[in-house]
Amino acid sequence: HWQEIVLQYGSELGVKMLAAIAFWIIGRWLIALVGRLTQNALERQKVDATVMRYLGTVIHVTLNILLVVGILGYFGIQTTTFAALFAAAGVAIGLAWSGLLANFAAGVFLIILRPIKVGDFVTVAGVTGTVKEVGLFSSALNTPDNVLTLVGNNKIFGDTIQNFSSNPYRRVDLKAQLSGAADHAAAMALLKEKVSAIPNVRPDPPVDVEILEFNLVGPVLVVRPYCHTDDYWQVYFDTNRVIRESLAAAGFPAPMPAQAVFISNPG
């Protein structure tokens, strides 16, 4: 008799387990479908990429929680009791994980105030890179050496934010050492002409070439072309190359340190 009872309960449990697995698979498929439809709808409305990804994450997490609660309810677990326990645990966890909640709150402010957005080249919390995603708790940046770096939203929001993509152009700062015997005025005119011809260097503002300082070798020129952020490193390296090649081709003397040594013979 007990074998029949075990077999009956086992069969019912097996059917519920199979149904739960089916609910999970179908539910996950539906969640993915809703995510795709939502993304397509937001793209048609030309919603900002940062806001779109943030909303997608919120919808994905919320639907997954509802799916788990629904499956638990199917097994007969009182979801109201579960919700109360979850709320009580949430208070305790919230106290322990105040930093996590602070990251979440900071993420909301980053979305609302939008000091950074997807695609911007920024320096935040000491990390420089291109914003890939502003998430619920952290933001993802791709650094110039192609390393994915995650930074907590609260650290971003509470620290200095430098957004290099906000303005239409930025300045490239380089130096050129001249020999003390060189004609600095001719060198300055030559560098202005050659650097201005580099691709992606803006004509307005014009290239700055001025005497920055002096040292034992001679005058030091500052060379400052302006360009778009996307072209920064191309202009940076091209300007360095042009400084070296143009001065050498024009016959300017190579800058070399020199010291005068006086030898006295007391005899």
Strand partners, 14: none
Place of tokens 């002096």: 214
**Lowest mean pLDDT segment, chosen from 76-90, 116-130, 219-233:** 76-90
Cα four-point dihedral sign 10, 12, 14, 16: negative
Banded model confidence at residue 76, pLDDT cuts 50, 70, 90: low
The per-residue pLDDT for range 21-65, each reduced to its tens digit, is 888 888 888 888 888 888 888 777 777 776 677 777 778 888 888
- Beta sheet of 219-224, edge-to-edge order: 174-177, 219-224, 208-214
Contact indicator for 50, 107 with CB cutoff of 8 Å: no
pLDDT of residue 97: 58
**94 has a pLDDT exceeding 60:** no
Write down all domains in the chain, each with its CATH number in brackets: 2-96 (1.10.287.1260), 108-163 (2.30.30.60), 170-249 (3.30.70.100)
Instruction: Give the confidence band of 135 by pLDDT, cuts at 50, 70, 90.
Output: confident
Q: Global pTM?
A: 0.61
Tokens of 156: 């971003």
- Distance of alpha carbon 156 from alpha carbon 153, whole angstroms: 5
pLDDT in tens, 171-230: 999 999 999 999 999 999 999 999 999 999 999 999 999 999 999 999 999 999 999 999
Question: Given its phi and psi angles, is residue 46 left (phi above 0), alpha (psi -120 to 50 degrees) or beta?
Answer: left
Predicted pLDDT of residue 22 = 85
